[in-house]
Amino acid sequence: MWLTVRSGHERGRTIFVDGDTVVLGRDDDCDVVVEDTNVSRRHVALEPLADGRVALVDLGSSNGTFLNGNRVESAVLRGNEQIQVGGTVLVSSREEPAGRAGKTEMGSLAGALQTPSAVHRLLVQRSLRRVTLLALAAIATA
């Protein structure tokens, strides 16, 4: 699922959620860092579901998470919803937003990696997951 920032400091930014859970917030350790003082350090989690939808879960944020104008603790995104975290509004889409086709994106986060250290951290995290899965597979077949 694609999320496009429609208002706020990062208008136009696009995030692709696929595979791993993605945490949005102000904290540098979040998968997607949102530069908005009204967003909590760890504001909301986006968890891909097997059917292509995405579970949206508020992580106890101070200002809440709103889906189509209603405050929610959790919800399932199907596409074409408006999500508000702090002063940032995102729109969900099951289709790749126009103007993004053919662009190479890195992993689950399209346009979310802002610093070389964030890129490095993501690569290390993914490498560790692969090593763990390979080790578990080796143990299971032994």
Query: Which helix (H) or strand (E) segment is 75 a member of?
Result: strand 74-77
Residue 11 or residue 75, greater confidence:
75
CATH topology of domain 2-111: Tumour Suppressor Smad4 (2.60.200)
The pLDDT tens digits of the residues spanning 105-131 come to 333 444 444 444 454 555 555 555 555
pLDDT of residue 115: 41
Phi/psi region, residue 131 (left: phi>0; alpha: psi -120 to 50; beta: rest), is: alpha
Q: 8-17, 45-54, 77-86 — which is least confidently predicted?
A: 8-17
pLDDT of residue 72: 97
What residue segments make up the domains of the chain, in order of their start? 2-111
Section 92-105 average pLDDT: 64
* pTM of the complete model: 0.68
